[in-house]
Amino acid sequence: MTDRSLQFTLREWWQFVSAPKTAVVVAAAGLVLGLSGPFGTYDAMHPLARLVYWELIAFVTFSVGWLNARLIGEHTPARKLGVLPAYAVAGLIGGIPIYAVVELINLVGNIGAPQDLPSRVILFAYCTAFNFCMCMLVAWLFKRAARAVPPEAAGAVPKLLKRLPIELRGPLSHLSMQDHYVEVVTDRGSQLVLMRLADAISETEPVSGLQVHRSHWVAFDAVARTRREKERYIVEMKGGAVLPISRSHVPAARAAGLLPAG
Tens digits of per-residue pLDDT, 198-247?
999 999 998 999 999 999 999 998 999 998 888 889 999 988 899 999 99
> Who has greater pLDDT, 212 or 1?
212
pLDDT average, residue stretch 127-139: 83
Q: pLDDT tens digit string along 42-78?
A: 888 888 988 998 999 989 888 888 888 878 877 777 7
Percent of the chain beyond pLDDT 70? 87
- Give the Cα separation of 95 and 114 in Å (integer): 19
Domains contained in the chain, CATH given: 3-148 (no CATH), 159-255 (2.40.50.1020)
Instruction: State phi, psi for 19 to the nearest 5 degrees.
Output: -65, 140
Look at residue 109 in the predicted model and tell me its pLDDT. Answer: 73
Look at residue 138 in the predicted model and tell me its pLDDT. Answer: 73
State whether residue 259 is helix, strand or coil. Answer: coil
* Burial status of residue 155 (CB atoms within 10 A of its CB: 0-12, 13-18, 19 or more): exposed
Angstrom distances, CA of residue 86 to CA of 55, 74, 218: 29, 8, 32
Q: pLDDT tens digit string along 146-185?
A: 555 454 443 468 989 988 887 788 899 999 998 889 999 9
DSSP for residue 47: H
